[in-house]
């Protein structure tokens, strides 16, 4: 039971990861008069980059775009390891003063909007004893990502209990796992799997990546030669901005090629793989996905480390289905058996909307899956709440930063015109619902019903185009399709009777 009077803020941010720290910076620089706090459920900042501890964890985008626009990435590697990214987030928070606004071990469990009071009441559990604490906020900004921190997706494998060795999911990597000199099977073909294979192959006897179906994989240099040249000659911020825009435009151009001309794009990707695989390696079936490029996110391998491990013989890829686990490994649908001492289930994430927070508006439960995303960051009909969701075809931070700026524009517009409530107003007659995340990956299909949807046009359509989104953020109308309400007028208390009148009636 909450006993203390709720502390009140203009804005409450949920999550102190890459997005939450960026949100804090934008709030204090673009809305300097607003009070804010960042509530983080874990004991440290960093989000994804502190949670995941598996070998080789790294970015799957270059750090000039995954990093912040306002703080240059200075490390030599453009494709960075998890520790370097975590350190970058921590240093950014400390230098900007955002760290002073973070409150740790405060898990937000519910939030209720009152139109009469024009504010959110936010219920939080603090510490190991889950002590209840309550806050009030004029605006709620959810920077908690879209996957569950409690655990990843783990399908039921026949015979799993029969396997004699450890079975590990990358989201819960044990500190004491010893795989040196052992046979490892990694189930999966996504970004986590292609990261784990070369990292574990350095000390394991052999690593097998077992995939039901392959992914499109491309290799890029871990270091950006142009970045090294520019940073040696130009001020850090200018060099960072040039490299950032170079990478934005190159990524966007390749994405457009894949979507508009998938045939040539597939030939290009297959040729790149053939060039770095051992001579005579058959691309079918291991490097021939059944889907078009960018139907799912491309897997990036820096300096071709996955292919290097395959050429050295320390790693291999097997494309087949799983019949059952055995005591000594995995028997495949084809009847072949793969021996294993350790099995890693790199089987993906479990989606959760709005950080799993229970939302209510004037006593009515909000189901995110029943809403349509407005400009990719607000929910139809839900006032004064925003969520941060990144791009699927580019670095997360590109869209996250645009969302921070859109939130700040909306807050400033509301302040300038005396509005206390802003809720996107959906015209259902002209909007055809579609999945919010436009990829066919398994984790997205599994969680499609819990995530908000997007529309087919206008501010309800989520574009995968940073340039167009940037122009809209700068020049677009902040109040388009938005229902705005002014602050409620306080009730005037009844005039108390005159003292003499009271005495006369005695």
Domain end call among 345, 375, 397: 345
Residue 94: CATH number of its domain: 3.50.50.60
Q: What is the pLDDT of residue 492?
A: 54
Alpha-carbon distance of 283 to 205, in angstroms, equals 24
Regarding whether 333 and 202 lie in a shared domain, the answer is yes
ω before 285 within 30° of 0 (cis)? yes
**Does 365 fall in a domain?**
yes
Please report the pLDDT score of residue 495 as a whole number. 52
Residue 501 pLDDT greater than 60, yes or no: no
Same domain, 183 and 329: yes
Whether the pLDDT of residue 113 is over 50: the answer is yes
Tokens at 506, concatenated = 């005695």
The confidence score (pLDDT) of residue 502 equals: 34
Q: Do 284 and 302 fall into the same domain? A: yes
Residues 37-51 pLDDT 10s = 999 999 999 999 999
Read off the pLDDT of residues 162-215 as tens digits, 9 standing for 90 and up. Answer: 999 999 999 999 999 999 999 999 999 999 999 999 999 999 999 999 999 999
Strand duo 337-339 + 329-332: pairing:
antiparallel
**Which residue did the predictor score with more confidence, 468 or 439?**
468
pLDDT tier for residue 225 given thresholds of 50, 70 and 90: very high
Tally of domains within the chain: 2
CA-to-CA distance for 281 and 25, rounded, in angstroms? 49
Q: Is the pLDDT of residue 1 over 70?
A: no
Residue 140 placed within a domain: yes
CB 460 within 8 Å of CB 482: no
Q: Is the pLDDT of residue 417 over 70?
A: yes
Question: Residue 431: what pLDDT?
Answer: 79
155 inside domain: no
Q: What are phi and psi of 59, to 5 degrees?
A: -75, 150
Residues 358 and 341 both lie in one domain: no
506, pLDDT greater than 60? no
Domain boundary at 345, 363, 386, which? 345
Residues 337 and 459 in one domain: no
Give residue 505's pLDDT.
39
User: Between helices 396-417 and 466-475, what is the axis angle to 10°?
Assistant: 10
pLDDT > 80? residue 503: no
pLDDT at 491 over 80: no
3-state DSSP of 460-490:
HCCCCCHHHHHHHHHHCCCCCCEEEEECCCC
Per-residue model confidence as pLDDT tens digits over 314-346: 999 999 999 999 999 999 999 999 999 999 999
Note whether 438 and 455 are same-domain residues.
Answer: yes
DSSP 215-242: --EEEE-SS-HHHHHHHHHS-HHHHHHH
What range defines the domain where residue 278 resides? 160-345
Percentage of residues of the chain with pLDDT beyond 70? 95
* Residue 72 in domain: yes
Give CA–CA dist 237/8, Å, rounded.
36
Are 205 and 326 members of one domain?
A: yes
Is 407:378 a contact under the CB 8 Å cutoff?
no
């Amino acid at each position: 039971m909450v006993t203390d009077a709720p502390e009140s803020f203009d804005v409450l941010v949920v999550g102190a990861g890459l997005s939450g720290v960026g949100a804090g910076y934008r709030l204090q620089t673009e809305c300097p008069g607003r009070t804010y706090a960042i509530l983080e459920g874990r004991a440290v900042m960093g989000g994804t980059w502190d949670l995941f501890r598996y070998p080789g964890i790294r970015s799957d985008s270059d750090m000039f775009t995954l990093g912040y626009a306002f703080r240059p990435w200075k490390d030599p590697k453009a494709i960075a390891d998890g520790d370097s990214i975590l350190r970058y987030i921590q240093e950014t928070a400390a230098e900007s003063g955002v760290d002073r606004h973070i409150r740790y071990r405060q898990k937000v469990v519910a939030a209720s909007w009152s139109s009469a009071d024009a504010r959110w009441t936010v219920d939080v559990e603090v510490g190991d004893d889950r002590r209840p604490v309550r806050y009030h906020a004029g605006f709620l900004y959810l920077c908690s990502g879209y996957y569950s921190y409690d655990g990843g997706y783990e399908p039921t494998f026949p015979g799993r209990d029969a396997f004699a060795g450890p079975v590990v999911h990358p989201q819960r990597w044990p500190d004491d796992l010893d795989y040196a000199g052992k046979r490892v099977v990694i189930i999966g073909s996504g970004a986590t799997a292609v990261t784990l294979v070369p990292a574990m192959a350095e000390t394991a006897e052999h690593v097998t990546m077992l995939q039901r179906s392959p992914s499109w994989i491309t290799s890029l240099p871990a270091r950006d030669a142009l970045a090294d040249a520019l940073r040696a000659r130009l001020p850090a911020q200018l060099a960072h901005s040039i490299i950032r825009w170079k990478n934005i435009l190159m990524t966007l151009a390749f994405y457009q090629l894949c979507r508009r001309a998938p045939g040539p794009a597939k030939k290009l990707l297959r040729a790149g793989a053939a060039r770095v695989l051992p001579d005579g390696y058959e691309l079918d079936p291991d490097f021939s996905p059944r889907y078009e490029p960018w139907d799912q996110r491309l897997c990036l391998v820096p300096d071709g480390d996955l292919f290097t491990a395959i050429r050295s013989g320390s790693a291999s890829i097997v494309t087949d289905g799983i019949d059952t686990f055995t005591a000594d490994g995995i028997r495949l649908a084809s009847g072949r058996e793969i021996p294993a001492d350790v099995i890693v289930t790199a089987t993906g994430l479990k989606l959760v909307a709005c950080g799993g927070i229970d939302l209510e508006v004037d006593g009515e439960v909000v189901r995110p899956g029943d809403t349509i995303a407005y400009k990719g960051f607000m929910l139809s009909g839900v006032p004064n709440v925003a969520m941060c969701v990144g791009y699927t075809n580019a670095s997360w931070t590109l869209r996250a930063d645009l969302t921070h700026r859109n939130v700040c524009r909306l807050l400033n517009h509301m302040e300038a015109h005396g509005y206390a409530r802003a809720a996107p107003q959906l015209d259902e007659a002209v909007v055809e619902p579609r999945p919010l995340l436009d990829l066919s990956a398994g984790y997205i299909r599994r969680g499609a019903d819990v995530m908000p949807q997007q529309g087919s046009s206008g501010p309800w359509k989520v574009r995968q185009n940073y340039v167009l989104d940037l122009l809209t953020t700068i020049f677009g109308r902040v109040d388009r399709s938005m229902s705005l309400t002014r602050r409620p007028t306080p009730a005037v208390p009844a005039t108390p009777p005159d003292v003499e009148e009271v005495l006369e009636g005695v």
